[in-house]
C-alpha cells in the first residue's frame, strides 16, 4: 500500500454565485496524517470533495500523486482515494456485510484480500454473514468504513468517522487509521472530535471562511485552548489534564499523558 | 415516592431476532432525576429506553417478558437525527412546537401558553418565527425537545440526542437535561458519550449484552472516559476520576 | 374490522410518505444514468407490496398531486386514474408472489406496462389530443409523422415507453424486497403472505 | 418549480379552499367544452383569475415554459399532420380541423396551467394546513399532502449522496446501456433501505406528538371563511354541474 501526495494549488470553488473557497494552497506529502478543523460552513467538506472529483474547482489545481483530479471521474479517482462520507451507512445495499464490503474491490477489480483485512481491522469478521441493516446504526457505519478500507486506497478521506460510535468502535477506527498511515497511506480527516484528531493526526489545517487560517503540528494546536476556542473546540481531555497538571512535553494523546504521569502518586477517593 | 417506571426481571426480543435485546433487567426510574444509560453498541441501551417509555412492543413489535409498571402515558422521545423528527407540517418553529399540544385538542390559549413556556425553557424563543428547515443541527434538536416538552411529559427519553451535533450544540443540549428534571420530569438518556453523561447524570445504568451490570452515581459506574482511562493506566486506585478537575484533586503534589 | 377498512396506522402512514417521496425523487437516478424512464411509480408498487392496495392507491394519488405541485405541470392530474390501476395491479402481483424472483417480476412488469398504457393512452388522446408534456409525446409525433394514424401513434408511444419503465420498476422492487433485512421484513406482514 | 408568492390580493386573503375550488372548476370547464371559442373563454377566465390574485406576471412565465412545448407538438401533430381540408399559410399547409383541435387541446392545457399555478402561488401551505385542521380533515391526509413536500429536499440530497458514494466505491454510472441499467440496483436499493430504516423512528416521533390522537385537533390560526368565500365556491360548483348537465343533455356542442 503506497500513499500519494496531495496538492491544492490556489484552489477556488463556488456554489452558485457564492464562493466558498478563496484560493487554498496546501501541500500534503505522501503518508502524512492531516486533520481539517474549522467552523461549520468554512468549506471543509467542499475541500475534501474536490479530492475525488465530486466537485470541480473554479480556479486552481488539485493533484493526487501525478494525477490532475480535473481529468478524472470519481469512479476513476476511487483507484487512489478512499472517500468515507459522514452518513456512509446510507450507501449499503448488499445482503451481507462481506458482500457489501467487497463491492468496492469488485468494482475496481482488486483482490479480495483487502476485504478480509478490512473486516479484521474493524472487528466485523463475526458479523460477515449478517445483513448490514440487521446491525445497529453505529455498526453499519463501521461496515461502510470497511467497504472503503477494503479498496486499499493510497489516500483516505474520512468525514466525521467517529460520530455515534462507542468506545470500542472509536478505538478500532483509531487503530485502523494509524496502521494505514504507518504503511504510508495519506489521510485527511474532517472531524469535530478533537480527541480522535489528537490520537490520529500529526498535522492540523484550520479552514475559516474558505481560507487556510492555520497549518500547524497537531501537538501545538490542540494544546492551545486560545486557538481552539474560536472554532468552538476545546483541547482534548488528555491535553487538558496535561495543562492542568503542568505535565512536561504538552501531551495530547492518552498514552502520552500516561507516560508524562509516570511516578505520580494518587490519593484514595 | 413510588417510581415513575418500574421494570422487574424484564426481557425483550425484537420481532424476527433470536437474540434477546434485554435480559432480566430490574430497575426503577424516579421522577425529577436524570438517569444515564450506557453500554457498548448492541448492549441494549436503546432498547431499555423504548421499553421503559412504553414504546416497545406497542410500536416496535417484539416480545416483552417480566413486569413493567409505567405510571404515566405522557412520555416523550428524542432521537439522534433532528431532521427525521420534524412533523414537516409547520413553516415556523412556533408552529412545530405547537403541533403536540394542538393534536391533543387543547384550547388555543393553552396551546400558545405551553409553546411559550417550552421555547423559553429551551432557549429557542428567538427562533420562534424561523423556518425549522433553516436551523442548525443544534438549534433544531432543541426545537425537537421543546416540541415534546410543550406536551409536559412526565418521562423524557433521549437516545444519543447529540450524536449529530457539534461540541457546542452537544454541550448546550446536555446542559438542559438537569433543568428538565428539576421541573419534575424523569429524564432517561442513553449515549456512548460518557464524558457528557458524567456531567449531568444523577445515576447511570451500565448494560452489557442486554443485562444491567452496574448502576449508581456516575463516578461509581463509568470508567471509560479519557481521563478515567489515563488515571487507571497511571496507577490511580478506584473509583477513577472522570474529568480533569476530579483527576487534579486525586494527584498528590 | 376487515383489513381493507382498518384505518391506516401511523407506521403505514410514514411508509406511504416514504413511497411518495421515492416516487418524486427517483427520476434523479434515471437522469444520472441517462436512462429514458421515469421510474416514478416505484414507490407506489413498493407500498403495494409492503402495506397493501389501499395504501398504494393513496400513495399513487398523492404522488400525482405532489408531482404536479412540484413541477407546476397540473395537466397530469387527470392521469391520477392510472395511478389507481397501477396500485391495484401491483398489489395483486405482490399477492401472487410475482416479486419473489426476477423471472416473474419482469414479465409482471411488462404486463403492467400494457395495462398502464391502456389506461393512459385514452386519457391522453381524448383529453389532450395525445399531447402531454414529457418524452412520450415526442415519440408519438415521430410515429405519427411516419404515417400512423394519431390514435395508433399515441398508443404505440404509450406502450413502448411504459413497457420499459414498468418492467424496470418491477425488477427494482423485486431486488429491493429481496434485499430487505430479516428484522425489517417481518415488520411487514403483507410480505409473509 | 414555483411556490407560494406572498401577497395581499383577494385570493391571498381568501379561505385556502376558495382558490383551489376555482382552479378545479376551471379544469372541469376546460374539459366540458369542445369548441375553441368556449375553451378559450375558459383560458381568459383563468387569466382573470390570475390577475385577481395579482400574480398573472408570476404565473405566465412557468405556464409558458410548460405550455410552449405542448403547443409546438400540437401544431405538428394536428396542424401539419391533420386531415383535409388544408389551409395554405405561407409555405405550410395546415389542416383546418387539425388547427381547430389544436386550439381546443392547447386551450385546455393553458387554462389548467394558469388556473392551478394561480392557486399554487396564492395558497400558503401553512394556511391550508390550518384550514384543513379546522375542518377536521384526518391528520393522515394533511400529513401526506404537506409533510411529504418537506421530506423531498432531504431525499433529493440523499439520492445525490448515494450516487456520489457509490462512484467513490468505483461504480461507473456511464458506459453501455446494460451497465447503466445494472447500476440502478446499487443506487435505488440503498435509498429505499436507508429510508425504511428510519420509519420506526419517524412513527415514534409522530406518536409522541399526538400523531395518532383521535378527536379534533386545535387550529391555532384558522383562516376566516367569509360568506363571500362560500358564495364563490358554491357558484363554481353549481356552474360546473350546470355546464355538464347541459352538455350531457346533448345540447352542448
pLDDT over 90 for what percent of chain D? Answer: 66
Q: Which residues in chain C are closer than 8 Å to D50, comparing Cβ atoms?
A: none
Give pLDDT, residue D79. Answer: 80
Assess whether pLDDT exceeds 60 at residue D50. Answer: yes
Nearest by CB to D190, from A49, A74, A91: name it. A91
The predicted-structure confidence for C84-134, as pLDDT tens digits, reads as follows 999 999 999 999 999 999 999 999 999 999 999 888 888 888 888 877 756
D228 Cβ contact partners less than 8 Å away, ≥ 6 residues apart: D14
**Number of domains present in the structure of chain B:** 3
Taking alpha carbons only, the member of A101, A193, A170, A145 closest to residue B41 is A170
Q: Is residue B171 part of a domain?
A: no
User: CB–CB of B37/B45 below 8 Å?
Assistant: yes
Whole-number pLDDT of residue B79:
95
Q: Give me the domain span that covers residue A215.
A: 6-223
How many interface pairs between A and C have CB atoms less than 8 angstroms apart? 14
Q: What phi and psi values does residue C163 have, to the nearest 5 degrees?
A: -60, -50
pLDDT at C1 over 60: no
Q: Are B213 and B219 in contact (CB under 8 A)?
A: no
Task: With a cut of 80, say whether residue C136 has pLDDT above it.
Answer: no
Respond yes or no on whether the N-terminal peptide bond of residue D85 is cis (omega within 30° of 0): yes
CA within 13 Å, CB half, B82 = 25
Task: Check pLDDT > 80 for residue D250.
Answer: no
Residue ranges of domains in chain C: 10-192
Same domain, B231 and B217: no
| pLDDT for the residue D247 | 85
Q: How far apart are CA B122 and CA D62, in angstroms?
A: 43
Task: Answer yes or no: is B45 within a domain.
Answer: yes
Q: What's the gap in Å between the CA of D197 and the closest CA on chain B?
A: 11
Please write down the long-range contacts of B214-221, taking CB distance under 8 Å and 24 or more positions apart. Answer: B215/B27, B218/B36, B218/B242, B219/B246, B221/B38
Residues in chain D, how many?
A: 253
Could you give the residue ranges of the DSSP H alpha helices within chain D? 10-13, 17-32, 36-52, 56-74, 96-122, 125-134, 139-142, 148-167, 177-182, 184-196, 199-208, 227-248
Residue with cell 433485512: C181
Residue B216 lies in a domain: yes
Label residue C193 by pLDDT band (50, 70, 90).
low
Over 80: is that where the pLDDT of D62 sits? yes
Q: Please, are residues C129 and D78 in contact by the beta-carbon 8 Å criterion?
A: yes
B contacts of D143 (beta carbons < 8 Å): 87-89
Residue of chain B nearest A257, judged by CA positions: B230
Q: Which three cell numbers stand for residue D182?
A: 445494472
Weakest mean pLDDT among A228-242, B164-178, C142-156, D232-246: C142-156
- Kindly provide the ipTM of the predicted complex, given to two decimals: 0.93
What pTM, to 2 d.p., does this model score?
0.92
Grid cell digits, residue B112: 400558545
Whose cell is 442513553? That residue is B190
> In this structure, what C-alpha cell is assigned to residue B42?
448492541
Domain termination site, one of B152, B174, B197: B152
Q: How far is D204 from chain C (nearest CA, A)?
A: 8
Cα–Cα dist C131/D104, whole Å? 12
Q: B16, C11: Cβ pair inside 8 Å? A: no
Neighbours of chain A (3+ CB pairs under 8 A): B, C, D
Contact A131 C182 (CB under 8 A): yes
Number of structural domains, chain A?
1
| C-alpha dist (Å) from residue C116 to A69, C79, D209 | 46, 10, 40
**B2, B63: one domain:** yes
- Lowest mean pLDDT of A33-42, A136-145, B26-35, name the range: A33-42
Please answer whether residues B51 and B103 qualify as being in contact, where contact means their C-beta atoms are separated by less than 8 angstroms: no
Nearest to D169 among A49, A89, A104 (CB): A104
First to last CA, chain D: 37
> For residue A171, which of B220, C4, B224 has the smallest C-alpha distance?
B224
The reply to whether residue B16 touches residue C183, judged by beta carbons under 8 angstroms, is: yes
pLDDT tens readout for residues D97-112: 888 888 999 999 999 9
Residue of B nearest to D197 (CA): B84
Tell me the CATH number at A115. 3.40.50.300
Query: Could you list the residue range(s) of the whole structural domain that residue B245 is in?
Result: 223-253
Cell of D244: 355538464
User: Is D165 in CB contact (< 8 Å) with chain A?
Assistant: yes
Mean pLDDT rounded to a whole number for chain C? 89
Q: Rounded to the nearest 5 degrees, what angle is found at the Cα of D93, between the Cα atoms of D88 and D95? A: 100
From residue C53, give the alpha-carbon distance in Å to each of C42, C44, C60, D199: 14, 9, 10, 19
Place of cell 379544469: D27
Tell me, yes or no, whether A20 lies in a domain: yes
Burial (CB < 10 A; 0-12, 13-18, 19+), residue D176, is exposed
Q: Which CATH number fits domain C10-192: 1.10.150, 1.10.1760, 1.10.3710, 1.10.720?
A: 1.10.1760
Q: Would strands B186-190 and B22-29 be described as parallel, antiparallel, or unpaired?
A: unpaired
Q: Whole-angstrom Cα distance, residue D149 to residue D152?
A: 5
Contact D152, C22 (CB under 8 A): no
Amino acid at each position: 500500500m503506497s500513499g500519494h501526495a496531495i496538492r491544492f494549488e490556489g484552489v477556488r470553488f463556488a456554489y452558485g454565485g457564492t464562493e466558498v473557497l478563496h484560493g487554498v494552497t496546501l501541500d500534503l506529502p505522501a503518508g502524512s496524517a492531516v486533520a481539517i478543523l474549522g467552523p461549520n460552513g468554512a468549506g471543509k467538506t467542499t475541500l475534501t470533495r474536490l479530492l475525488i472529483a465530486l466537485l470541480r474547482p473554479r480556479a486552481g489545481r488539485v493533484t493526487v500523486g501525478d494525477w490532475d483530479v480535473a481529468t478524472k471521474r470519481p469512479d476513476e479517482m476511487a483507484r487512489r482515494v478512499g472517500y468515507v462520507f459522514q452518513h456512509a451507512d446510507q450507501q449499503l445495499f448488499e445482503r451481507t456485510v462481506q458482500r457489501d464490503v467487497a463491492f468496492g474491490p469488485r468494482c475496481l477489480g482488486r483482490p479480495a484480500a483487502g476485504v478480509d483485512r478490512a473486516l479484521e481491522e474493524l472487528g466485523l469478521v463475526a458479523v460477515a454473514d449478517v445483513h448490514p441493516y440487521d446491525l445497529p446504526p453505529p455498526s453499519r457505519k463501521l461496515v461502510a468504513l470497511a467497504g472503503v478500507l477494503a479498496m486499499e486506497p493510497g489516500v483516505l478521506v474520512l468525514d466525521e468517522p467517529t460520530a455515534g460510535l462507542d468506545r470500542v468502535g472509536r478505538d478500532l477506527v483509531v487503530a485502523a487509521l494509524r496502521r494505514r498511515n504507518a504503511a504510508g497511506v495519506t489521510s485527511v480527516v474532517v472531524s469535530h472530535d478533537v480527541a480522535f484528531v489528537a490520537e490520529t493526526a500529526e498535522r492540523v489545517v484550520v479552514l475559516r471562511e474558505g481560507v487556510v487560517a492555520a497549518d500547524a503540528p497537531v501537538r501545538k494546536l490542540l494544546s492551545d485552548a486560545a486557538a481552539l476556542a474560536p472554532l468552538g473546540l476545546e483541547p482534548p481531555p488528555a491535553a487538558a489534564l496535561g495543562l492542568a497538571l503542568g505535565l512536561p512535553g504538552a501531551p495530547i494523546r492518552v498514552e502520552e499523558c500516561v507516560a508524562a504521569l509516570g511516578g505520580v502518586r494518587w490519593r484514595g477517593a | 415516592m413510588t417510581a415513575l417506571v418500574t421494570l422487574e426481571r424484564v426481557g425483550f426480543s425484537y420481532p424476527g431476532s433470536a437474540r434477546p435485546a434485554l435480559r432480566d433487567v430490574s430497575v426503577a426510574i424516579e421522577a425529577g432525576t436524570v438517569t444515564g444509560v450506557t453500554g457498548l453498541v448492541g448492549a441494549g441501551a436503546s432498547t431499555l429506553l423504548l421499553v421503559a417509555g412504553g414504546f416497545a412492543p406497542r410500536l416496535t413489535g417484539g416480545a416483552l417478558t417480566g413486569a413493567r409498571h409505567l405510571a404515566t402515558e405522557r412520555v416523550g422521545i428524542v432521537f439522534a437525527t433532528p431532521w427525521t423528527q420534524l412533523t414537516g407540517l409547520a413553516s415556523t418553529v412556533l408552529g412545530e412546537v405547537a403541533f403536540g399540544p394542538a393534536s391533543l385538542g387543547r384550547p388555543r390559549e393553552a396551546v400558545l401558553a405551553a409553546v411559550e413556556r417550552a421555547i423559553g425553557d429551551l432557549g429557542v424563543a428567538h427562533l420562534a418565527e424561523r423556518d425549522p428547515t433553516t436551523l442548525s443541527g443544534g438549534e433544531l434538536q432543541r426545537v425537537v425537545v421543546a416540541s415534546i416538552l410543550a406536551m409536559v411529559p412526565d418521562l423524557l427519553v433521549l437516545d444519543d440526542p447529540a450524536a449529530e451535533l457539534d461540541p457546542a450544540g452537544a454541550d448546550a443540549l446536555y446542559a438542559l437535561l438537569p433543568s428538565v428534571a428539576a421541573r419534575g420530569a424523569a429524564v432517561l438518556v442513553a449515549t456512548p458519550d460518557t464524558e457528557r453523561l458524567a456531567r449531568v447524570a444523577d445515576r447511570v445504568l451500565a448494560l452489557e449484552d442486554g443485562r444491567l451490570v452496574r448502576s449508581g452515581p456516575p463516578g461509581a459506574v463509568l470508567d471509560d472516559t479519557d481521563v478515567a482511562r489515563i488515571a487507571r493506566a497511571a496507577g490511580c486506585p478506584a473509583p477513577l476520576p472522570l474529568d480533569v478537575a476530579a483527576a487534579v484533586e486525586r494527584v498528590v503534589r | 374490522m376487515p383489513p381493507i377498512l382498518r384505518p391506516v396506522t401511523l407506521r403505514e402512514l410514514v411508509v406511504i410518505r416514504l413511497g411518495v417521496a421515492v416516487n418524486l425523487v427517483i427520476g434523479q437516478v434515471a437522469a444520472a444514468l441517462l436512462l429514458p424512464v421515469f421510474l416514478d411509480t416505484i414507490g407506489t408498487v413498493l407500498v403495494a407490496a409492503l402495506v397493501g392496495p389501499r395504501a398504494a392507491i393513496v400513495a399513487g394519488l398523492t404522488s400525482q398531486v405532489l408531482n404536479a405541485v412540484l413541477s407546476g405541470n397540473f395537466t397530469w392530474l387527470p392521469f391520477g386514474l392510472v395511478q389507481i390501476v397501477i396500485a391495484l395491479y401491483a398489489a395483486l402481483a405482490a399477492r401472487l408472489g410475482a416479486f419473489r424472483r426476477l423471472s416473474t417480476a419482469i414479465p409482471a412488469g411488462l404486463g403492467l406496462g400494457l395495462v398502464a398504457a391502456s389506461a393512459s393512452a385514452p386519457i391522453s388522446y381524448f383529453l389532450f389530443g395525445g399531447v402531454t408534456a414529457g418524452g412520450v409525446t415526442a415519440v408519438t409525433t415521430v410515429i405519427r409523422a411516419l404515417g400512423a394514424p394519431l390514435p395508433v401513434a399515441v398508443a404505440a408511444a404509450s406502450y413502448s415507453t411504459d413497457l420499459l419503465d414498468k418492467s424496470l420498476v418491477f425488477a427494482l422492487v423485486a431486488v429491493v424486497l429481496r434485499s430487505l433485512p430479516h428484522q425489517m421484513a417481518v415488520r411487514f406482514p403483507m410480505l409473509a403472505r | 418549480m414555483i411556490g407560494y408568492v406572498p401577497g395581499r390580493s383577494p385570493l391571498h386573503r381568501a379561505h385556502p379552499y376558495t382558490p383551489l375550488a376555482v382552479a378545479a372548476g376551471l379544469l372541469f370547464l376546460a374539459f366540458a367544452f369542445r369548441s375553441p371559442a368556449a375553451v378559450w373563454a375558459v383560458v381568459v377566465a383563468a387569466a382573470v383569475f390570475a390577475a385577481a390574485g395579482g400574480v398573472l406576471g408570476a404565473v405566465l412565465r412557468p405556464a409558458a415554459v410548460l405550455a410552449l412545448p405542448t403547443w409546438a407538438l400540437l401544431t405538428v401533430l394536428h396542424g401539419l399532420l391533420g386531415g383535409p381540408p388544408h389551409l395554405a399559410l405561407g409555405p405550410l399547409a395546415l389542416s383546418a380541423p387539425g388547427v381547430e383541435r389544436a386550439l381546443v387541446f392547447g386551450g385546455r392545457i393553458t387554462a389548467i396551467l394558469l388556473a392551478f399555478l394561480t392557486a399554487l402561488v396564492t395558497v400558503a401551505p401553512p394556511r391550508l394546513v390550518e384550514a384543513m385542521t379546522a375542518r377536521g380533515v384526518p391528520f393522515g391526509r394533511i400529513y401526506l399532502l404537506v409533510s411529504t413536500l418537506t421530506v423531498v429536499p432531504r431525499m433529493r440530497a440523499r439520492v445525490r449522496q448515494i450516487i456520489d458514494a457509490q462512484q467513490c466505491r468505483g461504480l461507473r454510472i456511464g458506459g453501455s446501456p446494460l451497465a447503466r441499467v445494472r447500476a440502478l440496483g446499487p443506487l435505488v436499493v440503498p435509498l429505499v433501505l436507508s429510508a425504511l430504516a428510519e420509519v420506526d423512528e419517524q412513527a415514534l416521533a409522530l406518536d409522541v406528538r399526538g400523531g395518532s390522537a383521535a378527536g379534533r385537533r386545535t387550529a391555532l390560526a384558522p383562516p376566516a371563511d367569509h360568506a363571500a368565500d362560500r358564495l364563490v365556491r358554491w357558484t363554481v360548483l353549481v356552474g360546473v354541474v350546470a355546464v355538464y348537465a347541459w352538455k350531457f343533455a346533448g345540447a352542448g356542442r
